[in-house]
């Protein structure tokens, strides 16, 4: 049977999703990137191979996320797409009538507006990472809470405290202040969720027409407190899809299927890539005054790709699917 | 006297010509690099907008190369640019760098100051020399603007990625080296021939995207992270809204003689914005509407972070985008702009525009019409007449 692999190499998590020809879910893996994207891709590939039912061959591979180029080079992707497109595709495949996607990941948050199944507008956070997964992770840790209990606790509160959410650093000091006053933990966590939602709606979602159906996806959607806070602020039901944490990878798998739908042969290097030795080096090019930082990725002795140059002197030789 | 000036795109070419013709030694600041930006941000107030910071970087680097005089434009109106020169003078003085600053105020109501500025530059030059210097600079600016426009059409269709950019660098040097008006036109024709030699894929499905916003971020590639090149290499034909030669003609010459002819264009913005808000805020709105109605696929809005006129425009654009049914993407740029983030947004915007077009959006019809006229190379590029 043919199947399609999607990889979302993000700042915090690296996700793998394998989808069969009729969109049946075969593999669904969520890994922490932990600052080592190459290792995360190799580990994920090995696990994907283990979990794949017998008789399945990978007919197409798509990558997305901030590390999409790197992942694409390592595995040999058929399509390398930005995360906004991937998340939009994934959302429409689950809820074809979806009009708004709220996506909060490890280091960025975005809003995608769709009409009639196509993306018509989007925005990403630019200056501030308040409200993203990394910040919530850190606060849960500071409160001594496992992150999966954070949301449950927040939902139980009936009297949230007001926390200033304009800036992550100030939100933290405000939160400490409220703790020192003796407020119960659930009220503080609920207050924090509300502050982060306010921040998101005032920055990322500013000026966007948020209309139902609304999907909430990305790792932070696991936090029930955030879902409730969004519903409170918007006054509309917010849906969390079953595969909320791996939606980027799901979208990448679908994009891969589309890419090879004309019968093209996949560029997938095979699962043995998980045993290859990859080496990344960077250097300054002194060809002109731009002094670009060139990154080169090699497998053993063989150079796979270069990027970072403005003039194309180094990246000219890259495979065609790399932008 | 060794004169320097701030960089803004290829403005250095006409300015070098102008001052050299006046018999003044010119020190062109090194091209804007990370060093320039670091220097500038180190000595500028944090909340000043990026152009001021980079100007400071340019001046400091030029001073290192021996410049002793800065020629800077002044300004009037609500935009902070008007007192840049004054602030920069203070910053340089605080640093103990001795650079004389000659501020050229715009002619509207400042005739005397403009004259005084020019006179301190060209004390020994007669009116004929000044006229000749002006004519040479003007010729260079005009041909470069025209070639730049062609560059956007070609780059979106180039077969070998980067070939247009390489040629463009050669053309800049050709025009820069020309030492008479006649030589400028010859260089321009040579440049056009180089463009003609680039191998194209004339049938490529090209999207058209307009660039609007603040003039400095539009014209200086080091500041907008070479957005024109990035878009072009994605297969997008860029339609640039600001060309310096047009700007000078409209705002400095025609305006002064009350002969401006762009009133109708401004009227487009009237339902949203009734008055001049400084800088290019009003143009951003009216040009976006104009582009939507001329069948462009999308508009990208550029501005430096904290730019007041463009913040006004930015808050109006979502409504314009809905009313005129055209996607708009805004980038507010400063020294912290991350290339990766911009790349991601550009790619997503490209996908958005492409999907819209494939879905048979209304602009589609106009697009096809355009495509059929550009199959032959001649018609892709505006037929050129330099005189």
Per-residue pLDDT tens over the stretch A241-294: 999 999 999 999 999 999 988 888 888 988 888 888 888 888 888 877 677 788
Label the pairing between strands A57-64 and A2-9. Answer: parallel
- Is residue B25 situated within a structural domain? yes
CATH number of the domain bearing residue B58: 3.40.50
Verify that A295 and A268 share a domain, yes or no.
no
- Residue where a domain terminates, one of A194, A224, A240: A240
- Residue where a domain terminates, one of B75, B94, B124: B124
A275 touches chain B (CB under 8 A): no
A70 touches chain B (CB under 8 A): no
- Is residue A58 situated within a structural domain? yes
Verify that B261 and B366 share a domain, yes or no.
yes
- Is residue A233 situated within a structural domain? yes
Verify that A230 and A270 share a domain, yes or no.
no
Phi, psi of B353, deg, nearest 5: -65, -40
Verify that B208 and B348 share a domain, yes or no.
yes
Verify that A269 and A282 share a domain, yes or no.
no
pLDDT of B293: 92
Verify that A81 and A210 share a domain, yes or no.
no
- Residue where a domain terminates, one of B73, B102, B124: B124
- Once rounded to an integer, what is the mean pLDDT over residues B18-26? 92
**Higher-confidence position of A295 and B321:** B321
pLDDT of B376: 35
Taking contacts as CB-CB distances below 8 angstroms, the residues of chain B near A85 are: 347-348, 351
Query: Which of A195-204, A314-323, B234-243 tops mean pLDDT?
Result: B234-243
Number of domains in chain B: 2
**Higher-confidence position of B168 and B336:** B168
pLDDT of B258: 74
CATH number of the domain bearing residue A165: 3.30.420.40
Structure tokens at B377: 């190379």
Confidence label for A128 from pLDDT (cuts 50, 70 and 90): low
A320 touches chain B (CB under 8 A): no
Asked if the Cβ–Cβ distance from A316 to B30 is below 8 Å, we say: no
Verify that A84 and A111 share a domain, yes or no.
no
Verify that B251 and B352 share a domain, yes or no.
yes
Q: Which residues of B touch A (CB under 8 A)?
A: 30-31, 33-34, 160-162, 165-166, 226, 229, 234, 315, 318, 321-322, 327, 332, 336, 340-341, 343-345, 347-349, 351-352, 355-356, 359
CA distance A5 to chain B (A): 21
Interatomic CA distance for residues B284 and B302, integer angstroms: 9
pLDDT digits 0-9 by tens, B273-312: 888 888 888 999 999 999 999 999 999 999 998 888 999 9
Verify that B7 and B100 share a domain, yes or no.
yes
A74 neighbors A278 (Cβ within 8 angstroms): yes
- Is residue B41 situated within a structural domain? yes
State the residue range of the domain holding A210. Answer: 96-240
Verify that A101 and A168 share a domain, yes or no.
yes
Verify that A236 and A103 share a domain, yes or no.
yes
**Higher-confidence position of A203 and B251:** A203
- Residue where a domain terminates, one of A240, A265, A297: A240
pLDDT digits 0-9 by tens, B199-219: 999 888 899 999 999 999 999
CATH number of the domain bearing residue B362: 3.40.50.11900
Asked if the Cβ–Cβ distance from B345 to A120 is below 8 Å, we say: no
Q: Give the nearest chain A residue to B315 (CA atoms).
A: A207
- Closest CB to A323 among B33, B229, B347: B347
- Is residue B158 situated within a structural domain? no
Taking contacts as CB-CB distances below 8 angstroms, the residues of chain A near B162 are: 311-313, 316
- Is residue B188 situated within a structural domain? no
State the residue range of the domain holding B50. Answer: 2-124
Interatomic CA distance for residues B298 and B106, integer angstroms: 33
State the ipTM, two decimals: 0.82
A284 touches chain B (CB under 8 A): no
CA distance B190 to chain A (A): 22
Percentage of the residues of chain A whose pLDDT score is greater than 70: 95
Interatomic CA distance for residues B4 and B320, integer angstroms: 41
Q: Chain B interface, mutation test: which of A66, A83, A121, A248, most B Cβ atoms within 10 Å?
A: A121
- Once rounded to an integer, what is the mean pLDDT over residues B56-79? 89
- Is residue B131 situated within a structural domain? no
Q: Please spell the DSSP secondary structure of B99-145, one letter per residue.
A: -EEEEE--STTTHHHHHHHHHHH-TT--HHHHHHHHHHHHHHHHHHH
Verify that B225 and B369 share a domain, yes or no.
yes
Asked if the Cβ–Cβ distance from A316 to B161 is below 8 Å, we say: yes
pLDDT of B110: 67
A208 touches chain B (CB under 8 A): yes
- Residue where a domain terminates, one of B103, B124, B145: B124
pLDDT of B126: 80
pLDDT of B124: 74
- Is residue A230 situated within a structural domain? yes
Verify that A266 and A208 share a domain, yes or no.
no
Taking contacts as CB-CB distances below 8 angstroms, the residues of chain B near A313 are: 162
A11 touches chain B (CB under 8 A): no
- Is residue A323 situated within a structural domain? no
**Higher-confidence position of B239 and B103:** B239
- Is residue B347 situated within a structural domain? yes
Verify that A128 and A142 share a domain, yes or no.
yes
Taking contacts as CB-CB distances below 8 angstroms, the residues of chain B near A121 are: 321, 327, 352
pLDDT of A318: 73
pLDDT of B385: 40
Label the pairing between strands B207-213 and B236-240. Answer: parallel
Taking contacts as CB-CB distances below 8 angstroms, the residues of chain B near A82 are: 344-345, 347-348, 351
Q: Does A117 have pLDDT greater than 60?
A: yes
CA dihedral defined by A22, A27, A28, A32, rounded to 10 degrees? Answer: -140
- Closest CB to A124 among B161, B226, B345: B345
The H or E element spanning position A251 is helix A247-259
């Amino acid at each position: 049977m043919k199947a399609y692999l999607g990889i979302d190499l993000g700042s915090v998590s690296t996700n793998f999703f394998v989808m069969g020809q009729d969109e049946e879910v075969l593999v669904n893996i969520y890994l922490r990137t932990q600052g080592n994207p190459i290792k995360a891709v190799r580990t994920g590939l090995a696990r994907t191979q283990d979990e794949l039912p017998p008789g399945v061959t990978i007919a197409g591979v798509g990558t997305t996320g901030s590390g999409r180029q790197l992942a694409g080079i390592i595995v040999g992707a058929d399509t390398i797409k930005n995360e906004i497109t991937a998340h939009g595709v994934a959302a429409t495949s689950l809820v074809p009538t979806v009009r708004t996607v709220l996506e909060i990941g490890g280091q960025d948050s975005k809003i995608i507006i769709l009409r009639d199944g196509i993306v018509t507008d989007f925005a990403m956070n630019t200056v501030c990472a308040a409200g993203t997964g990394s910040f919530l992770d850190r606060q849960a840790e500071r409160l001594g809470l496992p992150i999966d209990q954070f949301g449950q606790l927040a939902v139980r509160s009936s009297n949230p405290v007001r926390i200033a959410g304009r800036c992550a650093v100030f939100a933290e000091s405000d939160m400490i202040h409220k703790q020192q006053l003796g407020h119960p933990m659930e009220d503080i966590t609920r207050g924090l969720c509300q502050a982060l939602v306010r921040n998101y709606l005032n920055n990322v979602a500013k000026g966007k027409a948020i209309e139902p159906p609304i999907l909430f996806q990305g790792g932070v959607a696991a936090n029930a407190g955030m879902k409730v806070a969004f519903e409170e602020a918007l006054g509309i039901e917010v849906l969390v899809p079953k595969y909320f944490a791996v939606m980027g990878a799901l979208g990448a798998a679908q994009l891969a299927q589309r890419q090879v739908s004309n019968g093209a042969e996949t560029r997938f290097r095979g699962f043995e890539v998980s045993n290859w030795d990859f080496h990344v080096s960077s250097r300054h090019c002194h060809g002109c005054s731009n002094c670009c930082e060139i990154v080169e990725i090699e497998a053993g002795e063989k150079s796979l790709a270069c990027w970072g140059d403005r003039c194309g002197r180094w990246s000219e030789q890259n495979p065609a699917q790399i932008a | 006297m060794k004169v320097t000036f701030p960089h803004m795109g290829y403005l250095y070419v006409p300015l070098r010509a102008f001052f050299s013709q006046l018999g003044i030694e010119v020190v062109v600041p090194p091209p804007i690099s990370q060093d320039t930006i670091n220097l500038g941000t180190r000595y500028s107030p944090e909340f000043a907008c990026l152009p001021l910071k980079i100007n400071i970087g340019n001046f400091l680097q030029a001073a290192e190369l021996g410049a002793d005089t800065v020629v800077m434009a002044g300004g009037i109106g609500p935009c902070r640019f008007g007192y840049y020169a004054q602030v920069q003078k203070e910053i340089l003085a605080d640093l103990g760098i001795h650079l004389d600053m000659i501020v050229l105020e715009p002619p509207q109501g400042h005739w005397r100051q403009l004259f005084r500025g020019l006179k301190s530059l060209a004390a020994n030059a007669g009116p004929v020399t000044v006229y000749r210097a002006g004519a040479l600079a003007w010729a260079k600016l005009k041909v470069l603007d025209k070639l730049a426009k062609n560059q956007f059409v070609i780059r979106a269709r180039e077969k070998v990625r980067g070939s247009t950019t390489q040629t463009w660098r050669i053309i800049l040097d050709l025009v820069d080296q020309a030492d008479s008006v006649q030589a400028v036109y010859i260089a321009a024709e040579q440049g056009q021939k180089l463009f003609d030699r680039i191998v194209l894929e004339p049938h490529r499905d090209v999207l058209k995207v307009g660039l609007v916003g603040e003039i400095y971020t539009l014209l200086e590639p080091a500041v907008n992270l070479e957005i024109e090149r990035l878009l072009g290499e994605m297969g997008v034909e860029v339609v640039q809204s600001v060309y310096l030669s047009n700007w000078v003609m409209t705002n400095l010459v025609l305006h002064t003689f009350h002969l401006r002819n762009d009133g109708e264009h401004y009227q487009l913005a009237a339902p949203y914005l009734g008055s001049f808000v400084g800088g290019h805020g009003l143009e951003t709105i009216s040009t976006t509407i104009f582009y939507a109605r001329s069948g462009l696929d999308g508009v990208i809005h550029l501005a430096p972070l904290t730019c007041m006129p463009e913040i006004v425009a930015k808050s109006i654009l979502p409504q314009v985008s809905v009313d005129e049914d055209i996607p708009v993407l805004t980038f507010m740029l400063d020294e912290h702009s991350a290339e990766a983030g911009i790349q991601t947004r550009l790619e997503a915007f490209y996908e958005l525009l492409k999907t819209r077009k494939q879905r048979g959006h209304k602009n589609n019809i106009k697009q096809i019409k355009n495509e059929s006229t550009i199959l032959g190379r001649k018609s892709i590029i505006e037929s050129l007449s330099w005189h």
